[in-house]
Structure formats: structure tokens, C-alpha cells
Amino acid sequence: MPKKKEEPAKPLATQLIFQAPDLPTPKVNPRSGKLAVEEEKPPVEPKAKPVRQQKERPAKQEKTGAEEEKEKDTGSTRVDAKRQRRRDSRDSSRRRSSVTESEFLARRESVDRTMVVREKDDRIQIGVLEDGMLVEHYVAESQGGSLIGNVYLGKVQNVLPSMEAAFVDIGRGRNAVLYSGEVDWEAAETGNQPRRIELALKSGDQVLVQVTKDPVGQKGARLTSQVSLPGRFLVYVPGGNMSGISRKLPEGERQRLKQILKNTLPEDAGVIVRTAAEGASEEQLIHDVERLQAQWESISAKVEKGKAPMLLHSEPDLLVKIIRDVFNEDFQKLVVSGDSALETIREYLESVAPDLVERLSPFASSEDIFDFYRIGDQIVKALDRKVYLPSGGSLVIDRTEAMTVVDVNTGKFIGSGGNLEETVTKNNLEAAEELVRQLRLRDIGGIVVVDFIDMIQESNQEMVRRRLLECLSRDRTKNQVGEITSLGLVQMTRKKIGVGLLETFSEVCDCCAGRGVLIHNEPRFRMPEQQPKQGKNRNKKDKPEVVKKVVTPEQADAFKNVVNKIAQAAHPEDAEVKEPEGKTEILNAVLDSLPEPQPKAKPRRRRASSSGVVSPSESAEENS
């Protein structure tokens, strides 16, 4: 091959810019415009779609009757619902932050709590005041009390599998009801069978039950077979394998109580530590556990010897129960009116909580204690349907068979500057605080739906919800609050235990049966008033109607006598009076005897000028 001529050396900069590597020139087909390399490649065949092969299904096996019955009896829906509620409450409690020591003390010191007890006419009334406002009210009579907490040895009367409930005779007349969700399945001998109430209980069986809710209306008492014995500092659960501590206590106190329970708690029982256990010593907790354990042993001994139905254990009267469950270190004082009630409370506190005896004081004034603290006036207002807020707004509380509905209104509240959103938020915050007070005072339970005024911003909605939860933290009754819906509604539930305030101070009307309306057989709507016809003669006066009357002969004779007497009185005595004859003469005589009518003076008309003042010339013309 011929040698290439050597090119002259170029500057380095020029070589870096223009020198390129020697690469083969690609061949391009002039007709197609494609590279020759691409044309030489074989065409790619499209991938064939995979064909699904149907698997042979196994022959359907016929199920036996036992297998079908096993699939049918999968368990109790009430048990599953109770598990789900427990799971939800457990998740919500995990998300809830624990109370710090500062928050616990601030919550206690922020409210001035006082308990007032009045004993009058074999009746005891208890009121709980927070900052002078009545928030809770209890009534107990000496003849009859509540059944909540009593332990009975009952006899099963009937089991309804479709209702998942059993009716139990506890010796109180009306049968009580025991749902499958309240059955102690660990004690029930069902083996590997599903948890169905008809498999655990049968008619005629004896069952140990405890009352959780008093009978209301046509409903009997609610029962549970999971017995728990409440004490001053804790609740003793026989046969329980778990223990719990109130979340209202600060975290440091919870850890201290947890260490004490590890050493003192028996293995075959569980306990639930109450809020009143704050600051309690180890000796006090041990004494409370031993006392409750002795009560359970006494109940177990009665079960072996007794015959259903019978009462095994009764809770103390309402006075002692309220002092045990409600009165604690959060209260500044306990004022009692009545010697017998004062002595009962003093004996109980000296035996259970000696450090609280100094807060007990008698009411020495001759005035009624409820009038002194204005409790009677607050009860009267709580019985009303409408509740007025201090700022001018209002709450309307209506109770139905299914739920309690609360409507929030602004009323006269117009705010103090700002915009509509700020005004509505302030009204809702005030309504949330008053709502919780009314729920506690009226003892409203079940489903509660609150219709707050619509708020646009989500931050304001969350602020109202937090205020509602903060106020509900003072309520010892179990409750649960949902999120605010798009319609501005808040759905919540509150455990219903006894009768409410309205049922305590009222009775059902005999006429309307509590509906508030009277039913008639015929329509009772009002007809619209007939308007006078407006025509051409609407400005003319209506002519008086002429009343015609038929006169009998006897009435004519009597009328003649009257006319004669009138005529004699009108003429002198010596003049001879001619007796009128005929109708025309009689009427003329009557008209002559009557006094002449005096013509009425016509009112003067005044013409007003443009300035509204009558000119003197016009008045002179009128006078002339």
C-alpha cells in the first residue's frame, strides 16, 4: 500500500480542537434512508400471548350436617362487638398521652369542689358543686335504693339464641337480662365449642350475676357474670388475670402503684386501681385488698349453700357509696345537714380515709342548705328544655327514644369584633363547657348528637373538640367522643347507669302520655279568616240589617198597657187620656212620649298647609 504523506505538525491547541478519531463511515441505503446494519437484522416476531390453562376444579364435596352447623355457629355477634369496642378503646388509650404531674395538679387546683348533703323527710339528696355551680345530683330514699353492684344467685328462666340473651330471675319480680357479651366465658364450661349463650346456659341453671344497670321503664335490670367488688382505693376482680391503673393519675404515681401491686396482689385475682389511690400507702392498699377478698370468700360460701334466687351481697346505701366513689382529695369540704347522715359519713371516713375527716363539717344555719348554696334554683333550670349561656347563646336539649339531640344557637350573642368565624367559635367553645355540665347534672346517657354551629376552619373544629374532651375528663362516667362530621355534628356516647334528673322530678302526663300533644278524632286545623269582598262599593258604609219580629196577641195587650202608663206620665192627671186604637195610633203615642234626640255636632275640618300649620285665615273661615 502506498504510504501516506506525513502532514505537517500543527499547534497543540489546534490538534485538540480539530483532530477526531478515525471511525468507519456508516453505509446508508439511499432508497429507504435506513442504515444497512438495521436492514440486515431479522424482523422481530411479536410475542404470542400466553394461553391460560383452566385448572380442573375438584369435585364439590357434600358437607355433612355437623359441618354445616359448625359453620353456622361461628360465635356471638355481641361478643365480637364487645371485643371490637375494647380494641378501639385500647388503641385510643395508647394514642392518648399520659398525664404529667403538673397537669394533674393544675386540673385539681383549677376547680373549687364542694359536696353538699341534705337529709330531709327520709330522703337524702347529694349535690356536687364546682366553682359554685351544680354539676351532679343524687337522690336516695330510705325505703328503696339502687340495685347496681348487688350480687345475686339467679335462676335462668329462658334463653333466646336469636337475641343472644338469657332472662334470669333474681327475686325482684321482673326478670333481669344477661347478654352473651357479659358472660364469663372462662368460667363457663363450653369446651372447644363456639361461644354461644345457648351452649353456656340452659333453663333452670343457677348462675352468679351482678347488677350493672337498674331497671328503667319496661326494661329489666342488666346483669353480668363478671363480678367485681369496688373498694375505696381499688376494684377487686375475682378470677381476673389482668390489672389496671387509672389514667387520670400522673405517670410517676402510676409507676409507684404498679410496684406495690406486684408484691401484694394475689395470683388468682385482678384489681383496677382508682383515682382515689393517689398517695395511698402500701398498708392501705393491702388492707383494701384483704377486705375485698374476705367479701368474695363470704359470697363463694353462700353460693355453695344457697338456693336461687337469693341475694348474696348488697352494696351500701347511696350515701356511703357516693362518699366512697366520689369524695376524695379533690374536694375542699363536705357540708352535711342532718345528724344521722353526719354520723354515718364520719364513721365511714374514720375507718377508710382518716385524712379526709377534717374536711367534714356540719351545716349549723337554720336556713335550708340547698337554698343557701342555690341548688334548688339550679335544679329548676336544669329541668327546662332550653339552657341559656352567659354570653347570650342557648342550648336546646331534646330527648328521644333513640338518642339525645342538642342544638347550639347564638341567640343574642353577636361577638366583640372580628369576623363570623371567630364569633361562632367563641359561642361553640362556651356551649361545649355548658353541655358537659348539663350531661352530668341531668345524668343523660346513651347516644348524644350535638349540632354545633358550622365552622369552616378545621383548626377551630379541633379546638372545640379538645375543649369538649377537656371538660369530659372531670366526668367519672365512661364516655366516648367521635370526630366532628362535615355537617358540624359531634357524636358521642355516655354510659347510662340510673334514671336521669328529669325522671326523678317528674311523672308522665295522663292526658298525652308524654308526647306533649292531644290527639282528636277530627281535623283541628284553623280556617283562614274571611276577608271582606273588595269591589266597587268597598268605601260605602254597610246598611244596618232590619230585624223583623212577629208579635202575638198577648204581647200586643201587654204593650198597650205599657203605652198607657207612659202616656199618663207624660200628660197631667186631670186631662182625659184617650186610649189609642190601632197600630198606627199606638206607635204615634209611643213616639210622642219619647224625648227628642239631640243632633250631634259635626267635627270641624282643618286644612293643613305644606308646613303642617293651619293658617289663621282658614281657622277664621271655619269659625264663621
3-state secondary structure 70-110: HHHCCCCHHHHHHHHHHHHHHHHHHHCCCCCHHHHHHHHHC
Q: Is residue 609 part of a domain?
A: no
Question: Beta strand 176-179 with 165-169: parallel, antiparallel or unpaired?
Answer: antiparallel
Instruction: Please indicate, yes or no, whether residues 338 and 276 belong to a single structural domain of this protein.
Output: no
Q: Is residue 554 part of a domain?
A: no
pLDDT at 14: 44
Final residue belonging to a domain, choices 479, 504, 529:
504
Q: Is residue 83 part of a domain?
A: no
Instruction: Please indicate, yes or no, whether residues 281 and 307 belong to a single structural domain of this protein.
Output: yes
- AA letter at 2: P
Instruction: Please indicate, yes or no, whether residues 366 and 410 belong to a single structural domain of this protein.
Output: no
Query: 134 versus 270: which is more confidently predicted?
Result: 134
- State the Cα angle at 567 between 562 and 569, rounded to 5°: 100
User: For residue 275, what are the domain limits?
Assistant: 151-315
Instruction: Please indicate, yes or no, whether residues 412 and 488 belong to a single structural domain of this protein.
Output: yes
Instruction: Please indicate, yes or no, whether residues 185 and 223 belong to a single structural domain of this protein.
Output: yes
pLDDT at 539: 54
pLDDT at 407: 94
Q: Is the separation of the CB atoms in 476 and 419 below 8 Å?
A: no
Instruction: Please indicate, yes or no, whether residues 394 and 417 belong to a single structural domain of this protein.
Output: yes
Instruction: Please indicate, yes or no, whether residues 437 and 494 belong to a single structural domain of this protein.
Output: yes
Q: What is the mean pLDDT of residues 466-495?
A: 88
**Res. 138: pLDDT tops 50:** yes
Q: Is residue 552 part of a domain?
A: no
Instruction: Please indicate, yes or no, whether residues 305 and 331 belong to a single structural domain of this protein.
Output: no
Q: Is residue 585 part of a domain?
A: no
Give the DSSP per-residue string, 162-218: TTTEEEEE-SSSSPEEEEGGGS-TTTS--TTS---HHHH--TT-EEEEEEEE--BTT
Least confident of 160-174, 245-259, 557-571: 557-571
C-alpha cell at 31: 432508497
Instruction: Please indicate, yes or no, whether residues 166 and 286 belong to a single structural domain of this protein.
Output: yes
Query: 62 versus 381: which is more confidently predicted?
Result: 381
Least confident of 48-52, 111-115, 320-324, 385-389: 48-52
Q: Is the separation of the CB atoms in 438 and 396 below 8 Å?
A: no
**Tens-digit pLDDT profile for residues 55-94:** 455 554 554 544 544 444 455 666 676 667 667 665 655 4
Strands across the sheet containing 386-388? 386-388, 394-399, 403-409, 446-451, 489-494, 479-484
Q: Is residue 549 part of a domain?
A: no
Q: What is the CATH number of the domain that holds 139?
A: 3.30.420.40
Q: What is the CATH number of the domain that holds 289?
A: 2.40.50.140
Cis amide bond preceding 46, omega within 30: no
pLDDT at 72: 44
**Res. 561: pLDDT tops 70:** yes
Query: 519 versus 71: which is more confidently predicted?
Result: 519
Final residue belonging to a domain, choices 277, 300, 315:
315
Q: Is residue 365 part of a domain?
A: yes
CA nearest neighbour of 319 among 339, 338, 353, 344: 344
What share of the chain has pLDDT > 70, as a percent? 67
Q: What is the mean pLDDT of residues 301-321?
A: 87
Q: Is residue 175 part of a domain?
A: yes
Query: 556 versus 173: which is more confidently predicted?
Result: 173
Instruction: Please indicate, yes or no, whether residues 270 and 357 belong to a single structural domain of this protein.
Output: no
pLDDT at 92: 55
**Res. 48: pLDDT tops 60:** no
> Rounded CA gap, 599 and 452, in Å?
71
Highest mean pLDDT among 59-63, 255-259, 588-592: 255-259
pLDDT at 12: 47
Least confident of 301-310, 314-323, 474-483, 525-534: 525-534
pTM beyond 0.75: no
Instruction: Please indicate, yes or no, whether residues 159 and 278 belong to a single structural domain of this protein.
Output: yes
Query: 367 versus 121: which is more confidently predicted?
Result: 367
Instruction: Please indicate, yes or no, whether residues 158 and 290 belong to a single structural domain of this protein.
Output: yes
Least confident of 190-204, 546-560, 601-615: 601-615
CA nearest neighbour of 445 among 518, 368, 407, 498: 498
**Tens-digit pLDDT profile for residues 412-454:** 877 776 788 888 899 999 999 999 999 999 999 899 999 999 8
pLDDT at 440: 92
Is 533 exposed, middle or buried (CB count within 10 Å of its CB: 0-12, 13-18, 19+)?
exposed
pLDDT at 69: 45
Final residue belonging to a domain, choices 315, 331, 351:
315
C-alpha cell at 208: 352468679
What is the domain count for the chain? 3
Highest mean pLDDT among 16-30, 133-147, 278-292: 278-292
pLDDT at 24: 62
23 pLDDT band (50/70/90 cuts)? low
> Rounded CA gap, 197 and 207, in Å?
13
Q: Is the separation of the CB atoms in 113 and 419 below 8 Å?
A: no
Arithmetic mean of pLDDT over the chain: 77
